[in-house]
Amino acid sequence: MRALARCPLVLLHALGAPLGWAVYLASPSYRARFKANAAQAGVPWQQARGAIAAAGRMVMELPPLWLRPAGAALPMPVHWEGAEHLQEALAPGRGLLLLTPHMGCFEVAGQSYAERFGENLAPITVLFRPARKPWLRGLVEGARRRPRLDTAPARLAGVRQMIRALRRGETVGLLPDQVPPEGQGVWAPFFGRPAYTMTLAARLVQQTGCALLVLWAERLPRGSGFRVRVAPLGEPLPGEPVAAAAAINRAMEGLILACPEQYLWGYHRYKSPRAGAPAGHAAGEAEPHTATRIAVPEVSQPDPRAPR
């Protein structure tokens, strides 16, 4: 990884494309899920197949992002489109929640935000799920903690950390299409099929009054860097959990369909939460618009003694 971290982005992308295809051809389950998810979204194969190589390129982008020295500039150019939405959202002094799906290079989005806007606008805290392998856990946590970029673990302590950050007028980043554990989400349509969807994003907005934007980091051709696109959600966020989850899913669908060749179609988006699911959902047999509401406990309020 240290050797790869010194390679130019164009070489990393050239190595990543065959890596993506090797994984695709070697794993029947991954291949079947990739095709099924793309077909569920109505994306033609000629558009979806580019995501096979893109997944490998995403992996090869990690070494220079994870292993660059603390405080060093990003080793690849990043262009921002729609940055004025960030300035408008943060101008009143309230917090900002950024949502991005599993597409493009979501690792570079948080790091680039911290580098470009973290000092002048607000620092950012990103939610992450700790790596299961002990040898990888320290590397990932250290790589994602940068100047003006903090991380919050995907547990109650991390939720409290994000609430405090938003109430200080800072920014928080989430991947809302990540499948949460049972009891922390609702079944909501995603490309016409029920998918277990986190309610955390909507609850953060409701509890803190923060602004909400969507973004994703587009991978530019020939290793020329990335373009981070920022936009409003596109519709008011409802207060009811299932309706709010469905609205966020619609926003993610719009981003994905704008560039399907960079979405992780192999991601197990329709899997059941870890502790089980209603009958029919696990097997993918439920029809669209039959989402079942799951009781979600209230997110605990932060310690009132904590700095605001």
Q: pLDDT tens across 99-150, in order?
A: 999 999 998 999 999 999 998 899 999 987 766 777 666 666 666 667 788 8
Instruction: Tokens for 208, please give them.
Output: 């803190």
Which residues are CB-contacts of 73 (< 8 A; sequence separation ≥ 6)? 115
In a domain, 254, yes or no: yes
| 182 φ, ψ (degrees, to nearest 5) | -60, 140
From the centroid of its chain, how far is CA 203?
17
In a domain, 295, yes or no: no
In a domain, 163, yes or no: yes
According to the model, what pLDDT value does residue 279 have?
36
In a domain, 129, yes or no: yes
pLDDT digits 0-9 by tens, 32-86: 999 999 999 999 999 999 999 999 999 999 999 988 887 788 989 999 999 999 9
Number of folded domains that form the chain: 1
In a domain, 274, yes or no: no
- Distance of CA 197 to CAs 63, 266, 270, 292, Å? 30, 17, 9, 11
In a domain, 64, yes or no: no
In a domain, 37, yes or no: no
pTM, entire model: 0.84
The residue-averaged pLDDT of 257-272 equals: 96
Q: CA-CA distance, 46 to 52, in Å (whole number)?
A: 11
- Write the single-letter amino acid at 245: A
Decide if pLDDT at 230 tops 90.
yes
According to the model, what pLDDT value does residue 295 have?
33
- Residue 152, domain extent: 78-262
CB count in 10 Å sphere of residue 116 = 17
Residue 82's Cβ-side half-sphere holds a number of Cα atoms within 13 Å equal to: 15
In a domain, 231, yes or no: yes
pLDDT digits 0-9 by tens, 296-305: 333 334 343 4
